[in-house]
Amino acid sequence: MQEISTGSGQIPPSPWSLADPRAAQPGSDLVCIGAELDPVTVLHAYAMGLFPMHVEMDAGEQELGWWSPDPRGILRLDQVIVSRSLRKSIRKLAVTFDQDFEQVMRACWRVGGDGNWITDEFIETYTYLHERGFAHSVEVWNSGGDLVGGLYGIELGGLFAGESMFHRERDASKVAFVSLVEKLRGCPGARIFDVQWQTEHLESLGVTQISRNKYLEELASVVHTRPCFG
């Protein structure tokens, strides 16, 4: 794939060519399988509307898959839902950004079963991208200084693609989510907060769904926006 220009800077060419999600079967979330999880290819994927996650094959082995859900879960930044109980939790917990990226990612891996696709290879690649300003974390701390929640994701231009979140205390992941929304809302320019799939948990925070084609159309309009994290 050729070099691309984004609001986050120039992305050099990738040795891999990923399938265009516009050509994928409607309603099919998995677009293609293969390639490698190198940082440049990962950035190209996000710019195309794809993200990596392993696929379980028939023999029990895993292959690297590139996904573009249809429909796609997103949050309109002005439509976040903050309940009264969540506001109380926000007042009790402290929030930081980019203070402990790797530990947030590892916590997403270890807490529950949903993060089991986060392998050491994913941690190495995304930590590399974090060190170069493309991947970011939100940390939530209790009064004792313990890391009790957080989330991480990729920012490319005006896209923030949330990858995973975790909590060890009530509402801690929601506090991370709302704090990130507030940060993104404070930055100029059009933005997309992509959460991949709408879950019941995320729907309670205001996440809605749009078609893949609509998502790709909006992505193209924000990828040249100046990033919020810088």
User: Class assignment of domain 72-222?
Assistant: alpha beta
Closest CA relative to residue 229, chosen from 173, 159, 166: 159
* pLDDT-above-90 percentage for the chain: 92
The pLDDT assigned to 15 comes to 93
- On whether the CB atoms of residues 202 and 72 are closer than 8 A, the answer is no
Residue range 104-128, pLDDT digits in tens:
999 998 655 555 789 999 999 999 9
For residue 106, the Cα-to-chain-centroid distance in whole angstroms is 15
Residue 55 has pLDDT above 60, yes or no: yes
User: Class assignment of domain 4-67?
Assistant: alpha beta
- Mean pLDDT (whole number) for 68-78: 98
The pLDDT assigned to 117 comes to 80
Residue range 134-155, pLDDT digits in tens:
999 999 999 999 999 999 999 9
Binning pLDDT at 50, 70 and 90, where does residue 62 land?
confident
Provide CATH 3.40.630.70 ranges for the chain.
72-222
* pLDDT-above-70 percentage for the chain: 97
Binning pLDDT at 50, 70 and 90, where does residue 230 land?
confident
Average pLDDT score, the chain: 95
Residue range 162-203, pLDDT digits in tens:
999 999 999 999 999 999 999 999 999 999 999 999 999 999
Q: Provide the edge-to-edge strand list for the sheet that holds 147-156.
A: 94-97, 135-141, 147-156, 159-167, 192-196, 72-75, 208-210
Binning pLDDT at 50, 70 and 90, where does residue 1 land?
confident
Euclidean distance between CA atoms 31 and 50, whole angstroms: 8
Provide CATH 3.30.70 ranges for the chain.
4-67
Residue type, 207: V
- On whether the CB atoms of residues 96 and 139 are closer than 8 A, the answer is yes
